[in-house]
Amino acid sequence: MTEPASGSTRAGDRAAANRWHVLALCLVAGFMTLLDVSIVNVALPSIQQGLEASPAALSWVVSGYALTFGLVLVPSGKLGDEHGRGRMFMIALLAFTGASALAGTALTPAWLVVARLLQGMAGGLLNPQVLGLIQQHFRGHERGKAFGLFGVVVGISTAIGPLLGGVIIQLAGAEQGWRWVFLVNLPFGLMGVLFAWRLLPREVSRRRSRSVDIVGMLLLGTGMVCLLLPLVAGEGGVSVGWYLLAPAPVLLGLFVFWEHRYRLRGCTPLVDLRLFTVGSYAVGSALGLLYFAGFTSIFFVLAVYFQRGLGYTALQAGLALTPFAVGSAVSAVFGGRVVHRFGRRVVLVGLSAALAGLLTTDLLLASGVGMKAGLIVAPPLLVAGIGSGLVISPNQTVTLSEVDVAHGSTAAGVQQTGQRIGSALGIATASGLFFGQLSGGDYGDAISTGLVASVSFVGAALLVGLAELVVGGRRRRRSSTG
């Protein structure tokens, strides 16, 4: 009688251990792809020196990755849901590692740009599988912990990129150091593929769609190109016609109409729009878009201000942003543990702290603190980072909490697409205000104006969360009295 129980316990222990091994694998993969968004910025002077790259080529090294990353998120989520997340994870990680090798061995600027486009596509294929696997392997309180650790990865990878890039280039030399920014991915990627082969299930396809939603993919793809291309190319200084933004809402509107009609015909759409009838998912996706617009633009304008305005080195600028990363890493773990109990209220506390920290940072920099700015704004950046850690992973947990696991990767892909749109919109807005003010003033005025955009987006995210809290409270009171 006791042996089956003992065997069952051992099997349960093995399953639990396997879950956490899968999580560790997912966190490493997610860290690699998100780090490559920010680490390359400080390598641009080294790339220019080593490859004699033009400003336009350098801009595409940065913006090309962001563009292809954002374009493939939704189809990638669909592929994971239908054909197995483990299988797609291994394909994507192998492709990302190969593209990193291609980038690190580039002999011409064009070669490097193509490698970055491929690297972005592989990263966009990988990330929905990471979130889908976390949702698939964890439930309840443990899911909150898992997403909390993923929040640590998001916060650290975004903030530590410039610091890590500066260290690598300093160690490897200015002319060839940029290569190691890409080649450092190789050992981690190859080990990740081996562990994925051992740990991840290679599921049989869950369902075979009777037809492929080609029209939906074309409408979404062209709409996203029109929306993202002017924004992400503008970040790097590439002149891309802003007129492309005009057809974007039309194409995306047609996509929504088509997906609805396609489902009514009994076919499987690229995105099942009934996802947005799940209140927690719709609100969380909107909140995430707005927060990422503020969150990512902070690092852009502060990095430019510290390096160009104050003359900091890339390493010094990275160190100045470290308090945000530290605060985010610590609070994300705590937020993941308590979100199962307190829900979106954790996110509201985080948004309030982030808003307070950013407002204080803005006011201090506007007062003209000079070369000591990095030290003086460290405390409010720490507060903002603590708030950020209570936003990203708890919001991820609450947003996906009511989504069917079978649609987990698609839901994550749609949500991450919104975050990429928010990031591009936020950086374009903040940098436009920053450089617009700089043309007629000094760096102190420019950083204050640029941070206004970041603060405004975070404030808008807080309003969305408060609105959900108020509306939800009214509904609960009505149901209790009815």
Q: What is the pLDDT of residues 58-99, one digit of tens each?
A: 878 877 888 888 889 888 988 888 888 899 999 999 999 999
Q: What is the pLDDT of residue 11?
A: 47
Where does 391-442 have alpha helices with state H? 392-400, 408-438
**Cα separation of 220 and 71, whole Å?**
9
Lowest mean pLDDT among 26-35, 189-198, 316-325: 316-325
Segment of 180-189, 192-201, 298-307 carrying the highest mean pLDDT: 180-189
Domain covering 2-481 assigned CATH 1.20.1250.20 in the classification: yes
What's the mean pLDDT when you consider all of the chain? 85
3 state DSSP class of 139? coil
Return the H-helix or E-strand segment holding 205: none
For range 281-285, the mean pLDDT = 93
Which of 391, 393, 392, 365 lies closest to 378, judged by CA? 365
pLDDT confidence band for 203 (50 / 70 / 90): low
Query: Residues, the chain, total?
Result: 482
Query: Which DSSP symbol is given to 39?
Result: G
Q: What pLDDT is attached to residue 283?
A: 93
H-helix or E-strand containing 15?
A: helix 2-38
Q: What are the structural domain ranges in the chain? A: 2-481
Cα separation, 90 vs 85, in Å, equals 9
Q: Per-residue pLDDT for 479 more than 70?
A: no
Q: How confident is the model at residue 169 (pLDDT cuts 50, 70, 90)?
A: confident
pLDDT band at 46 (very low <50, low <70, confident <90, very high): confident
Residue 294 CB contacts under 8 Å (≥ 6 apart), including other chains = 354, 358, 426, 453, 454, 455, 456, 457, 458, 461
pTM: 0.82
Summarised one tens digit per residue, pLDDT across range 424-452 is 888 888 888 888 888 767 888 889 888 99
Q: How many whole angstroms separate alpha carbon 411 and alpha carbon 403?
A: 8
List pLDDT tens digits, range 347-357. 999 999 999 99
Per-residue pLDDT reduced to its tens digit, 207-266: 555 567 889 989 998 998 888 888 776 655 555 667 888 899 999 999 999 999 988 888
